Amino acid sequence: MPSDMPTPLQISARAAAISPSATLALAATAKAMAAEGLDVVNMAVGEPDFDAPAAARNAAHAAIDSGKVKYTPAGGLMSLRAAAADCLKRERGTPYAAENVVICHSAKHALSHALLALVGPGDEVLLLAPVWGSYDEQVLFTGARPVQVAPLPDGSCAPDLAAIRAAVGPKTRGIMLNTPSNPSGYVWTEEEIRTLCEIVIEHDLWLISDEIYGRLVFDGARHVSPAAHSQEMADRTILVDGASKVFAMTGYRMGFLAAAPHVTKAVADIQSQISGCPNYISQLAYQACLEEDPAEVADMIAEFDRRRLLIGAGLDRLGLKGPKPRGAFYAFPDVSPWFDDRGADGLAKDLLESKALATVPGTVFGAPNHIRLSYALSEERLTEALTRLGDFLGTRPRT
Ligand code: PMP
Ligand code: GLU
């Protein structure tokens, strides 16, 4: 910097400590490369490549045309809160009612506001690796400390329940659960959920249950919500869901949380001061989807399942090992045999630069031997991705 430039004023220590979302940053790099004319296959971002359902689009147009574009209550429209509670009851057997629900700008927003409402400096929150990278940062932002617990060592990415129990200490205030999992595609079994609930009750903890991929389960897997375990668990659980994945509505920015009324009140109060109310137009679009359960959703899930099988078979042919995904839309192969001294970060960088294939290194998720491949791409692009990955690995020394 030239010496006559004034030193910029310092930002806060809290802001200086935050890392940007690696998944969004990688997706932006891939998009910028594509904008320069490169034929990039973007498997970096977890974003469905489908249109939002017609019900959402029609409701959004109708909202604008009829002037429903003003503020709503800070916790969201009562009609949408009721629709979310009904949908959860129908699909997951949870006991929540409208007053247990707060509508947020996204699931990310719901998660971060839940953490702000529940934990702070001196507290610890258990994260269950492999874990979506935003959880660490969101916990750190509250002043609490994230503590990662490794999965079973057999490569399945199944939870190590004994290790979770052993990790609970005097400062532990809560656990963050994500099933189906981003990044592994692992779906927790009913028995695993039951044991986790026992740990939570025994140690008097909160459980933040991120169920944003709850409808995206395949291969006979069933999504089980811990909030359906018992009334006691419903009171301890902060169930988070949203419109981004199941309704392919990422840009609408809609999510919600369901919890005990004193928690939903705290979150609505935080929201009322920090962000006001959620977007009215998006709320009506989301409500239409929750009430109608659009036919497009079943088609999308069936298409994801076909892609899951295609990518699974392709990775098998390449000799890549990894957890068998049964939910969400990610494959998470172990690529460590092809590492140089830069590990997964270097491999993902080389893959992007030499083959224009964008992936996310497992370091972002606390699983440094893996890369994450989002299969929210057409079958043609997935086939192309597998060809590029095969060519890349074929030219790289294997240890
Ligand atoms: N949770 C998980 C596990 C996710 O993968 C995502 C992806 N964006 C989110 C929450 C947040 O979704 P959104 O903010 O788009 O609602
Ligand atoms: N959850 C998506 C992902 O993991 C979107 C990116 C983000 O919100 O950080 O790719």
Structure tokens at 151: 């999965």
Going by pLDDT thresholds of 50, 70 and 90, the confidence category of residue 2 is low
Confidence of residue 8 (pLDDT cuts 50, 70, 90): confident
Ligand 1 pocket mutation pick from 24, 108, 181 by most atoms within 8 angstroms of CB: 108
The per-residue DSSP string of 186-200 comes to ----HHHHHHHHHHH
Model pLDDT, residue 308:
97
Cis peptide bond N-terminal to 180, omega within 30: yes
Judged against a pLDDT cut of 80, whether residue 392 lies above it is answered with: yes
With beta carbons less than 8 A apart as the criterion, state whether 209 and 227 touch.
yes
Ligand 2: does its nearest atom lie under 6 Å from the Cβ of 28?
no
Kindly give the pairing relationship between strand 124-128 and strand 330-331. unpaired
Q: Which amino acid is at 398?
A: R
So what's the pLDDT on residue 1?
52
The H or E element containing residue 348 is: helix 343-355
pLDDT digits (tens, 9 = 90+) for 71-107: 999 999 999 999 999 999 999 999 999 999 999 999 9
Is the Cβ–Cβ distance between 44 and 358 less than 8 Å? yes
Give CA separation, 286 vs 22, 108, 254, 357, in Å. Answer: 27, 16, 7, 33
Question: Which pLDDT score, from 0 to 100, does residue 3 have?
Answer: 60
For ligand 1, whether the C-beta of 182 sits within 6 Å is yes
Average pLDDT over residues 272-288: 96
pLDDT at 399 over 90: no
344 and 366 Cβ atoms separated by less than 8 Å: no
High-pLDDT (> 70) share of the chain, %: 99
Q: Average pLDDT of the chain?
A: 95
Q: In the beta sheet, which residues pair with residue 371?
A: 361
**What are the tens digits of pLDDT across the range 254-268?**
999 999 999 999 999
* Binding site membership of 23 for ligand 1 (Cβ less than 6 Å): no
What percentage of the chain exceeds 90 in pLDDT? 91
**Would you state the pLDDT for residue 213?**
98
Q: What is the mean pLDDT of residues 188-198?
A: 98
Q: Nearest C-alpha to atom 14 of ligand 1 is from which residue?
A: 108
Res. 5 pLDDT band, cuts 50 70 90: confident
Q: How far is the CA of 194 from the centre of ligand 2 (A)?
A: 28
Cα–Cα distance measured from residue 310 to residue 56, given in angstroms and rounded to the nearest whole number: 30
All structural domains of the chain with their residue ranges:
13-51+296-394, 54-292
Q: Which residues contact 388 (CB under 8 A, 6 or more apart)?
A: 41, 351, 355, 356, 357
pLDDT digits (tens, 9 = 90+) for 290-343: 999 999 999 999 999 999 999 999 999 999 999 999 999 999 999 999 999 999
Return the residue whose CA atom lies nearest to atom 3 of ligand 2. 46
Q: Name the more confident of 23 and 385.
A: 385
Asked if residue 45 has its Cβ within 6 Å of ligand 2, the reply is yes
Closest ligand to Cα 45: 2
Q: Return the ligand 1 atom nearest residue 210 CA.
A: 1
The reply to whether ligand 1 has any atom less than 6 angstroms from the CB of 181 is no
Amino acid letter for position 359 = T
| β-strand partners of 370 | 334
User: For the segment 109-128, what is each residue's pLDDT rounded down to a tens digit?
Assistant: 999 999 999 999 999 999 99
Q: Is the CB of 48 under 6 A from ligand 1?
A: no
Ligand nearest to the CA of 109: 1
The class level of CATH for 54-292 reads: alpha beta
What is the C-alpha separation between 174 and 142, in angstroms, rounded? 13
Q: Whose CA is nearest to atom 8 of ligand 2?
A: 24
The yes or no reply on domain 13-51+296-394 and CATH 1.10.600.10 is no
pTM score over 0.85: yes
What distance in Å separates the CA atoms of residue 79 and residue 156, rounded to the nearest whole number? Answer: 41
Ligand 1 in reach of 370 Cβ (< 6 A): no
Going from the C-alpha of 274 to that of each of 255, 341, 375, the distances in angstroms are 16, 44, 35
Asked if residue 250 has its Cβ within 6 Å of ligand 1, the reply is: yes
